[in-house]
Amino acid sequence: MTETWPGTAYPLGATFDGTGTNFALFSEVAERVELCLFDPDPENPGSFTETKVEVTEVDAYVWHCYIPTVQPGQRYGYRVHGPWDPEQGLRCNPNKLLLDPYAKATAGEIDWDQSLFGYDFDDPESRNDDDSAAHMTHGVVINPFFDWEGDRRLSIPYNESFIYEAHVKGLTQLHPDVPEEQRGTYAGLAHPSVTAHLKKLGVTAIELMPVHQFVQDSTLLDQGLRNYWGYNTLAFLAPHADYASSQQGQQVQEFKAMVKAMHAAGIEVILDVVYNHTAEGNHLGPTLSFKGIDNAAYYRLVEDDQRYYMDYTGTGNTLNVRHPHSVQLIMDSLRYWVTEMHVDGFRFDLAATLAREFYDVDKLSTFFEMVQQDPVVSQVKLIAEPWDIGPGGYQVGGFPPQWTEWNGAYRDTVRDFWRGEPSLGEFASRLSGSSDLYEHSGRRPFASINFVTAHDGFTLRDLVSYNEKHNEANLEDNRDGTDDNRSWNCGAEGPTDDPGVLELRARQQRNLLATLLLSQGVPMLLGGDEMGRTQGGNNNAYCQDNEISWFDWDLDPERELLLEFTRRVIAIRREHPVFHRRDFFFGRPNGSSGGLPDIRWFREDGREMSRRDWRDPERRTLGVFLNGEEIPSPSPRGEPVLDDSFLLLLNAGHEQVLYRLPPRRYGNRWRQVLSTAEPEAPEGWRHYPARAEAPVEARSLVLLRRAW
């Protein structure tokens, strides 16, 4: 018989203290709880023996015990005895082994046996009592101790940040310098060759696609596919086991070592987190954890028929942020990743879902209030994906002041501008920081996380190579994925040998990258875009855990050129504060630079833009003066910030344009810093006096620096 002590109600989960382990589980509906310990069966390799421990201590619906003999590496789960009445939202069944919502590591794969479901496949209204233990993943007790060696949060200011969105496996799986056993893992991310690439590129933060333990979908496995993106979370405190080169709880140590290596390279770690739904799906989904522990507490149920789940995400269910213990799980998880795993921030998938306490999206919701008041979570980077699929789900610009947002309006407008669609006025707003979206709530330009591409959609190379999506490999007859890509194939669909098309595609990639990096706000680059990664026209590679999605590190000269160009533009942005201001532009002088405004917009003939020009649907050109002597916010030490002044000349039309440069009071001479039509030309390749005509090739941009 296993010796048990009462233990404590908090912290929830399995907590090893150096001697034994405390177990605590919340369930308001439970009548009995059994802790199940699993050990290897010596007589049946690969199988486990189960020891059931009755949990008798209950405080405020938290069931708890302490077992002095349980050490790190111990597998465990729960069986919850309680009411079964799906019509009332009650789905307890002790025959289903349940994963601890607070599990910090997992072991074993779910194999989608009938026993994992609470009903028989041929009768959704029935009750299935098959035991699921042999087919379930287990929680693992972890060793929480780790030598951080003085590691601390980098706290890089938003306006100095450059975010790189990447996938643990995709980034490292084909890297030739990463040892084979480390490819596709946290250890692979920490490899010096990977951190060196990021550091040389100028990355200040890597935003990792979901690393919370997620589940492989049975429908995908049946088709020979796999869940690659990971938006199918089951355990919010556990690093995904498949991304670790070591198992049985050691994935926690490996993840921590990766974070430590990134910090040593000056790179923050931001996690893409999925708190809006879980892997249990709708009423026809499996019973794996929350559903069998306390279904109505953890999930939003349909008010008038609690058999069914509210679904604002398109994935079957939505977490119940109206219930204090559900909110507590989210907040405990966030704090854990910050305090114990040392991550630097979060990007919240479909974040508007978390604001739906009742129906509408409400920025005064309990979740946002909890975040604002929390002394840990409020201090890290908080990035919202500001939409879900419910009514009023597109909330760009609608989040509280301490949040930043993926700016989908930026993405759409920049794509439209460079493919020649009428968009000039809005393009100027996005280029200058989207004050129309963020200034009214007291936020700064860096509230806008600017991006042109992200994991969900075309890569940059595919954006300029395909008009239509090509998702046949997903085995859904190309029905999946978005149809409105705002892409342009530059004259041929997909691969081509036409030199004119290839040259235009290369230039368009440079145009989009340069625009992204020279815009006010925080740029986010989709990993691989810096070196022309392609998915063959697949704009929904969620199930492509293969070469379609993985990074190809074997670069040809064209891709090498793109990589060098990207590094060059990132360096320009980093070195010049005028491209990453902390304040919105005023459009007027403050007296420190001879009466010149902080920004001024010009036509190609050198005249200032008029209201009629802004409304002209045929206009495809724009000149922007950026005054480096009119930066109002001081340095961190309170000193004035002075920078060079620049002219950005943009031509999205199909013919060369001769830009007449502004009058002498804006600058006597100008030096060319960058041209997307001449990517290898060094700085100073061309010089122009005031009022001279500067050629800007069709579909290109030129950056000039004032040389006085």
Report d(CA 383, CA 400) in Å as an integer: 11
> Could you say which of 242, 254, 272, 349 is catalytic?
349
Residue 311's alpha-carbon distances to 278, 319, 558, in angstroms, are 11, 9, 45
Report d(CA 460, CA 636) in Å as an integer: 35
Q: How many CB atoms lie within 10 A of CB 304?
A: 6
Q: Is 123 labeled as catalytic in the residue annotation?
A: no
Residue from 693, 684, 686, 689 nearest 708 by CA: 689
Report d(CA 669, CA 654) in Å as an integer: 28
Structure tokens at 202: 């100028």
Phi, psi at 376, each rounded to 5° = -95, -55
Residue 287's alpha-carbon distances to 140, 241, 527, in angstroms, are 19, 20, 35
Contact between 593 and 587 under an 8 Å Cβ cutoff? The reply is no
Instruction: Tell me how many degrees the CA angle 538-542-545 measures, rounded to the nearest 5.
Output: 90
Residue from 664, 649, 652 nearest 695 by CA: 649
Report d(CA 595, CA 75) in Å as an integer: 71
Owner of token pair 């966030």: 334
Q: For residue 387, give the amino acid letter.
A: W
Q: Is 503 labeled as catalytic in the residue annotation?
A: no
Distance of alpha carbon 646 from the chain centroid: 32
Kindly state the greatest CA–CA separation across the chain.
Answer: 91
First to last CA, the chain: 86
Contact between 57 and 7 under an 8 Å Cβ cutoff? The reply is yes
Report d(CA 97, CA 111) in Å as an integer: 14
Q: How many CB atoms lie within 10 A of CB 97?
A: 27
Report d(CA 568, CA 703) in Å as an integer: 12
Residue 36's alpha-carbon distances to 18, 99, 494, 522, in angstroms, are 21, 10, 54, 47
Contact between 143 and 249 under an 8 Å Cβ cutoff? The reply is yes
Residue 482's alpha-carbon distances to 87, 117, 334, in angstroms, are 36, 32, 31
> Could you say which of 385, 388, 416, 630 is catalytic?
385
At residue 614, the 3 state secondary structure works out as: helix
Give the CA-trace dihedral at 313, 392, 272, 277, to 10 degrees: -30
Contact between 367 and 358 under an 8 Å Cβ cutoff? The reply is no
Q: For residue 38, give the amino acid letter.
A: F
Report d(CA 189, CA 264) in Å as an integer: 13
**Contacts for 147 with CB less than 8 Å, ≥ 6 apart:** none
Residue from 324, 323, 293 nearest 310 by CA: 323
Contact between 256 and 337 under an 8 Å Cβ cutoff? The reply is no
Number of H helices, E strands in the chain: 15, 29
At residue 25, the 3 state secondary structure works out as: strand
What amino acid positions are annotated as catalytic residues? 349, 385
